[in-house]
Amino acid sequence: MAKMKFLCDAERCIECNGCVTACKNVNEVPWGVNRRRVVTLNDGVPGEKSISVACMHCTDAPCAAVCPVDCFYTTADGVVLHDKDLCIGCGYCFYACPFAAPQFPAPQQRAFAVRGKMDKCTFCAGGPEEPGSKAEFEKYGANRLAEGKLPACAEMCATKALLAGDGDIVADIYRKRVLRRASRPETWGWEKAYGADV
């Protein structure tokens, strides 16, 4: 079975935010929540790079390790999802995630545990509700994987900087790009999310 992964090629990202817009539109993400964002590394310095960041669906997800109610689970495809009906809004996942992927729709100035239900990138794989149901869409957004599609963010990337899909295929595409460039790879987050041996 394929293990789904994301990779953003820093040499190709042009900071257009097409991935962010695609995610928000396809999944009708609530106001104030960004499942995906574009970050500029070394902003204003010659050679600055931009990357698209979201939940990396880690092999050994730290968010799942700290959740006191075990609302996180990993699908057979390696996608890390969560059950909003179990989430208590404690915020532990937010602090554990090295990519700051978990988001809370309510303002952060509120008291502890009243942040609302956590929201994060689902790799466009829906959630624990019936696939394709109205309840699944309202809570988790589109289930594009069930339709045989890739996440909207990666499909909308104009420069194909954001790659998504089977981790072996994604790594192979990136490896070929690096060999063609004859340069050092810029795989921010890959090793942290998936380990050095992937």
Q: What are 40's strand-pairing partners? A: 50
Fold designation for 4-192: Alpha-Beta Plaits (3.30.70)
Percent of the chain residues past pLDDT 70, beyond the cut: 87
Q: What is the tens place of the pLDDT at every residue in 42-80? A: 888 898 999 999 999 999 999 999 999 999 999 999 999
Q: What is the tens place of the pLDDT at every residue in 135-160? A: 999 999 999 999 999 999 999 999 99
Smallest CA-to-CA distance from 7 within 141, 143, 169 is with 169
Yes or no: say if 121 and 55 are a contact pair by the CB < 8 Å rule: yes
| Domain ranges across the chain | 4-192
pLDDT of 119 > 60? The answer is: yes
Q: What is the tens place of the pLDDT at every residue in 179-195? A: 888 766 656 666 767 77
Measured CA to CA in angstroms, residue 134 lies from 35, 130, 131, 143 at distances of: 20, 9, 9, 11
Yes or no: say if 30 and 160 are a contact pair by the CB < 8 Å rule: no
| Contacts with 149 (C-beta within 8 Å, 6 or more apart), sequence order | 124, 155
* pTM of the predicted model as reported, rounded to 2 decimal places: 0.85
Q: Among positive and negative, which fits the CA dihedral 56, 171, 141, 24?
A: positive
Distance in angstroms (rounded) separating the CA atoms of residues 103 and 35: 7
The reported pLDDT for the residue numbered 169 is 95
**Helix (H), strand (E) counts: the chain:** 7, 6
